[in-house]
Amino acid sequence: MTPGAWAAILLGAAAIAWVNWYFFLAKRSAATASAGAGGAQEVTITVQGGYEPAEVKVKRGTPVRLIFDRRETSSCSEEVVIPDFGIRKFLPAFQKTPVELTPEKAGAFEITCGMSMLHGKLIVEA
């Protein structure tokens, strides 16, 4: 093979590695809630074309306050739904909306928009 062909192969491999990193590692942002007012576990989730962090880890049996910081007017994200907790809440654009719940059992629970297009996860650890 010519040096040019080798260079093309190396570039291709580098591009594939980058794509894998970008989609499978970089996007899997997770955050652990920190102690907020009144002893609740608090975490702020930025809503802008998705949920950031996409995964939130909390502890079972302690109240959780998820603060949705919506930074867009896109109708897709105007509602947030956490089906397992019976939560469906309107998020006004450019405002922070708190959603409170107390997880009584461990597991992974879905956070979605009203149309189930945006996805996040609430991970409750025992």
Catalog residues that contact Cu ion under the rule CB under 5 A: 76, 113, 115, 117
End-to-end CA distance of the chain: 57
| Nearest CB to Cu ion, comparing residues 103 and 120 | 120
Least distance between Cu ion and beta carbon 71 (Å): 15
Cβ proximity to Cu ion: between 95 and 102 the closer is 95
Q: Which is nearer to Cu ion, 46 or 62 (CB)?
A: 46
CB neighbour list of residue 69: distance below 8 Å, 6 or more residues apart: 44, 45, 46, 47, 95, 96
Q: Where are the alpha helices (DSSP H) in 3-121?
A: 3-20
User: Least separation, in Å, of the C-beta of 69 and Cu ion?
Assistant: 17
Q: Which two tokens stand for residue 112?
A: 């979605």
